[in-house]
Structure 1
Amino acid sequence: MRCEEDSTHSAESVIMAAMPTILLFSYLFTLLAGYLLRGLNLGHLKRHGNSVPAGFEQAVDAATLQKTSAYTLAQSRLGLVESLVDSALLLIFVFAGLLPVYDRWIGGLTDSPVIGGVLFFLCLLLAKTLIDIPFSLYRNFHIEKEYGFNTQTLGLWAGDLVKGVLISVLLLGLLLGGGLWLVSVSPTGWWFWGWLLFVLFTLFLMFISPYVIEPIFFRFEPVKKEGLEEAVRALMERASLSAGKVYQVDASRRSRHSNAYFTGIGRVKRIVLFDTLLEQLETGEVLAILAHEVGHWKKRHIFKRLVKTELLALGVFYLAYRLIEWDGLPALFGLEQTSFAAQWVLLSFLGRLAAFPFTPLGSWLSRRDEWQADRYACELHDTPGDLASGLVKLSRDNLANLHPHPWYAAFYFSHPPVVQRVQQLRTCAVRSGDLPP
């Protein structure tokens, strides 16, 4: 009997000793898989990027396709370098002994576990911000500028950076301080109270964002396009929704990319249109884009996603509690005991590994919602062909990749490939008589 116990203990010791290597190679495998998919996507674009898809003939020419391919390649190259740098720093931090050094340094600054935990994460946030600065500068002032998108000055970019950091530090500091205080007062129940705090904080941000946070960065004003606000309200009435307020935002101060979205929740929700969108699209196309967004509300996609997120967060909080209570979490990484905050870094690493296989499922669920919103837009808007033509123009003006590899799109795309969307929408328009067969 004693021999069996010794054998079991020996096997567990061997497994625990091998776990850092297993986790390291598991992470490298996910990186390699992602890079292979990226390579497939670029190779597919190189082979097929010169052909104009059906339905795009009137808007896209050979020069646009060539520019699109170059833009996609430039963005992908920068994304690859950024991913390599981030991954290398993460692996060094976790596996090369920097995490316990950093943990001890933070612990030496204060005896309070709450203050120490807040400092632990805020310092990491500031470090990540500094690391991201060169990539952001290159992306905005080289790639985006070269392809005609960037319109912001260096001063505006710097102002946005400072404001973003200050807001993040304030909000994250409050959330972390509250969460760590709950850990100190409820050592066995913090997972539930921490989750509840997370839920309330999420809803709080959804309420205050339209009135407090977004106006810090953008200027909102009533839509200036004649007759558009009345048409939007008529569209919302057909959908039996309260429109709230309809605004246009000065996105053109920063970029020529365009978008439209709903923001807020309950009585504070509003419709926001980029001024660049209003310049690029006709009124009917703008309404069709909004009809798609209305489809998300009518199909309760936003509510369902919020519920799924909060339920997933509940599971994450409970699992985190069990793993931290186990006391063996640091040993998985070959470390001795670490602080509560440091163990969350280890948990986030495990979470990235666990989430990777589910990435295509999450992407598929998101694409399913987009298809449903497209079909609803076809039913709500009088001329469903407008959504197809609007997407064609947006794809052209934003240099969207019209030839993604099917595997890459299946794994990563939250929206269906735009060529497929346009084909489906044109079919819908033909059936309704909006377009000729």
Structure 2
Amino acid sequence: MTSYALFYLLIAIVIIVFLIDSLLDILNARHYNNQIPEELLDVYPQDEYQKSIAYKKVNFKFKLISSSISLVIMLLFFFLNGFAWVDNIARNISDNTIIIGLLFFGIIIIGSDILSTPITYYKIFVIEEKFGFNKTTIKTFFIDKIKSIIMTIVVGGSILALIIWFYEITGHFFWVYTWVLVSVFSLAMNMFYAKLIVPIFNKQTPLESGELRDTIEAYSKKVGFQLKDIYIIDGSKRSTKANAYFSGFGSEKRITLYDTLIKDLNKEEITAVLAHEVGHYKRKHVIANLFLSIILTGLTLWFLSLFIKNPLLSEALGVETPSFHIGLIAFGILYSPISEITGLIMNIVSRTFEYQADNYAKETYDEEAMINSLKKLSKNNLSNLTPHPAMVFIHYSHPTLLQRIKNLRNKSVT
């Protein structure tokens, strides 16, 4: 294959991925007005349901426009030799390969962030504001941006520098060292994310003594779940949407509940949500997800090692001097179809795990409390009750509300 042919192959991949995603969004949009299944008729009052449809339509149009803009910018970058231009800037500043790579990705990431900021701002302060979700202030929005950039520079820059260094000193076998590095980092994030990262953006406080805590502790004792503490996170600082999640394992495991969840659900429903999260731990989903992630990372890095030294990757992007950072960009695009497939597999696994966690909540606590919590969360988040099956199959990490209710009531799930 020539560099010219590879250039157009990369463009074709970018366009095809865009078209497939857009087609799925269009198919999904055509289901917005579908008849609500009988099991879900009590989720929304009629006025709220119309509001949810309006919310979905606005987000559909917004995504279509914003993704089209991103596609145009990406194609312009290709045809105007943008990668070569950024590479030249980096090489004019330093002749150290690690610094060149860091500067290259730094310029790309910061430039992308600047271009995407107006889009993100509109999403939060216009769309989310209009439908009553946004609680973020402009000050919080930009402080979050600054914190994210600093974390990207410190954490992302350090990892990238080590990867390039591995490549420089070990050649083809750099992928093994990188795999170990990324695996250790993933393990650390799973263990200490709630302690190290979350406090940078949110305040976490232990759940106060009272009826809710007593109910949760009684349930935890019943199922033999050693829970050091239950934390409440100030999710209402940014949004009215509610959530809960499990993190860590061993002595570092913890369950975190959003303060919006505490507000929206009663104590039985909150305990059912917690039972679902405990189910993920009891069924070892956290460890399984971590293991699968590490395996997929190793597979990706191995593929990368096979192609990264090929000068065609750099030539296809208009860069005369082959380099790790340019090869990484080209490989990332070439690998995207495989990434879509592995993402699909991970979503299938994730949906299976969600069913299992729901079943655990049903078996150890209360089926109706779990169903009521799911309905309330769907209503308060203006969730889509009638998504297209193809969208669910490809992109949903969780089963639909209807599928989860049917599963909980031992009905056939389609």
Q: What residue in structure 2 maps to residue 167 of structure 1?
A: 151
Structure 1 contact 191–318 (Cα < 8 Å) conserved? yes
Q: Within 5 Å, which residues of 2 pair with 1:346-425?
A: 346-381=330-365, 383-425=366-408
C-alpha contact (below 8 Å) 1:78/1:135 kept by paired residues? no
CA distance, structure 2, for counterparts of residue 65 and residue 274 of structure 1? 24
For the pair 1:45 / 2:20, whether they are aligned, the reply is no
State the distance in 1 between where 2:375 and 2:89 align: 54
1:108 and 2:81 equivalent? no
The answer to whether structure 1 residue 219 and structure 2 residue 203 are counterparts is yes
Which one of 141, 144, 165 corresponds to residue 157 of structure 1?
Answer: 141
CA separation in 1, counterparts of 2:343 and 2:165?
33
Q: Give the secondary-structure state (helix, strand or coil) at the position aligned to 1:390.
A: helix
> Residue 273 of structure 2: which of 256, 280, 289 is its match?
289
Matches of 1:56 and 1:299 in 2, distance apart? Answer: 28
Matched, 1:31 2:14: no
2:254, 2:119 → 1: CA distance?
A: 33
User: Who wins on radius of gyration, i.e. which is larger?
Assistant: 1
C-alpha separation in 2, matches of 1:158 and 1:326: 41
Normalised to the residue count of structure 1, the TM-score between the two structures is 0.88
Work out which of the residue numbers 174, 183, 206 in structure 1 matches 2:190: 206
SS at match of 2:31: helix
Aligned equivalents of 2:100 and 2:27: distance in 1? 45
CA distance in 1, matches of 2:107, 2:16: 29
Q: Distance in 2 between matches of 1:388 and 1:123?
A: 47
1:427, distance to aligned residue in structure 2 (A): 4.3
Whether the aligned pair in 2 keeps the contact of 1:392 and 1:422 (CA below 8 Å) is: no
Q: How far has the Cα of 1:324 moved from its partner?
A: 1.7
Q: Which amino acid aligns with 2:250?
A: G
Per-residue deviation, residues 310-350 of structure 1 (Å, max 9, x unmatched): 11111211221121234333355575443211111111111
Please give the alpha-carbon distance, in whole angstroms, between the structure 1 residues aligned to 2:76 and 2:364: 53
- Secondary structure of the residue aligned to 1:188 is helix
The percent of aligned pairs where both chains have the same amino acid is 28
1:160 Cα offset (Å): 1.4
1:78-227 counterparts in 2 under 5 A? 78-224=62-208, 226-227=210-211
Match of 1:343 in 2: 327
- Aligned partner of 1:298 in structure 2 is 282
Q: Is the 8 A contact 1:260 1:272 kept in 2?
A: yes
1:74 aligns with 2:61: no
Alignment size in residue pairs: 411
Residues 149-200 of structure 1, C-alpha deviations (whole Å, 9 max, x = no match): 1112111111111112111211111111222222222223211111111111
Query: Which range is displaced more, 180-189 or 59-68?
Result: 180-189
Please give the secondary structure, in 2, of the residue aligned with 1:187: helix
Amino acid at match of 1:172: G
Contact 1:377–1:384 (8 Å) recurs in 2: yes
TM-score normalized with structure 2 length:
0.93
The Cα shift of 1:265 comes to 3.5
Q: CA deviation at 1:89?
A: 2.2
- The aligned amino acid for 2:398 is H
The verdict on how the C-alpha distance between 1:353 and 1:89 changes in structure 2, with shifts beyond 3 A counting, is: farther
Query: 1:403: Cα distance to partner?
Result: 0.9
Partner of 1:60: 44
CA offsets, 1:279-336, max 9 Å, x none?
1111111111111111111121121111111111112112211212343333555754
SS of 2:246's partner is: strand
Matched with 1:19 is 6
Aligned Cα RMSD in Å? 2.0
AA partner of residue 405 (structure 2):
V
What's the CA shift string for 1:246-293, capped at 9, x where partnerless?
A: 011111121100001112343222211111101111111111111111
Instruction: Give the secondary structure class of the aligned counterpart of 1:152.
Output: coil
